Amino acid sequence: MTKFNALVVDKDDDGRTSAAVKKITLADLPKADVTVAVEYSTINYKDGLCIGSGGGLVRSYPHVPGIDFAGTVEASEDARYKPGDKVVLTGWRVGEAHWGGYAQKARVRADWLVPLPDGLNTRQAMAVGTAGLTAMLAVMALEDQGLKPGQGPVLVTGAAGGVGSVATAILAHLGHEVAAVTGRPDTGDYLRSLGASRLVPRQDLIEVTRKPLEAETWAGCIDAVAGSMLGRVLKQMKYGSSVAAIGLAGGAALEGALITPFILRGVNLLGIDSVMQPYENRRRAWDRIASDLPLDRLETMVRTVKLEDLPALGADILKGQVKGRIVVDVN
């Protein structure tokens, strides 16, 4: 049987995990109805966890991580897909509970796939990836609550990371004034090239204050950080505005938050989940990405790596040291 490459994570008797590129066969893949020849995957924060200790996400070993991928259908037992179709997968706990995209082939459920959106190739789709899909879901949620260009600056936290970079580029392209929060001053030129008009040092927003409210400053916010930063940002939101909470890079607790922004300013806190997102909304988000994310800006935030590079990059992303988006060319 033909052998192909996969990044396999294994666990030894002492509970230590290790990741290495190995040869596997189709017979090794989990059972499901569509087999995809993977072309590109990416690296997200969750991938860092799954390449490393597992972070409580991986159910059993050996395991193939990779929470998203794009490629071409090779075999399908489902009428919605046929060999040759280009497809994208994000979410559904693929790469965590089910083997994922860090392999030259993957076998998944048809329900988890979406057709590659018109206007994007498989590499571009993975330059967007779960991070970009999440950024677009957040933009759509803010728009559904009434956000329009001209209402004031929109804050993006964790701006130099994957979700933050794409969120910055989309918001700027849509005509919003974007204020980018970063803890890495050396990413200033990069963030301005994506369309940020203002940089906010991380230090300005992480201190917990006792004040019930601060000056109304932000017309909207996409928050990848949570922790004390989200508690602080809520107090600075304009009347009736919304924060889309997408991540917890700065901690899972909502530190220093008070109820005052909600009951005195009608501020909304919107939760964004990309993993179990219903099919129709996924399609809508991918279509919006194809129309509202300028591909030249996307290109400036992308670096391409190979399967062999992933163990080191997995550690880097957990330390917040990855800038922008990384595409994994699995072939």
Q: Contact positions toward ligand NDP, by CB under 6 A?
A: 44-46, 130-131, 134, 158-164, 182-184, 187, 202, 224-225, 229, 246-250, 272-275, 317, 320, 322
In 25-110, which ranges are continuous DSSP H helix?
A: 45-51
* CB nearer ligand NDP, residue 113 or residue 322: 322
**Token pair recorded at residue 15:** 């509970």
DSSP 27: G
* CB nearer ligand NDP, residue 66 or residue 162: 162
**Token pair recorded at residue 320:** 């917040």
Dihedral sign from CA coordinates of 311, 316, 320, 322? negative
* CB nearer ligand NDP, residue 107 or residue 323: 323
* CB nearer ligand NDP, residue 116 or residue 229: 229
Least distance between ligand NDP and beta carbon 182 (Å): 3
Least distance between ligand NDP and beta carbon 238 (Å): 23
Least distance between ligand NDP and beta carbon 93 (Å): 12
- Chain residue at closest Cβ approach to ligand NDP: 161
Token pair 């030249």 is found at 296
Residues in contact with 189: Cβ distance below 8 Å, sequence separation at least 6, in sequence order: none
Least distance between ligand NDP and beta carbon 128 (Å): 12
Least distance between ligand NDP and beta carbon 272 (Å): 5
* Alpha-carbon distance values, 324 to 249, 305, 317 (Å): 15, 13, 11
**Token pair recorded at residue 163:** 């979700």
**Token pair recorded at residue 122:** 């498989």
* CB nearer ligand NDP, residue 77 or residue 204: 204
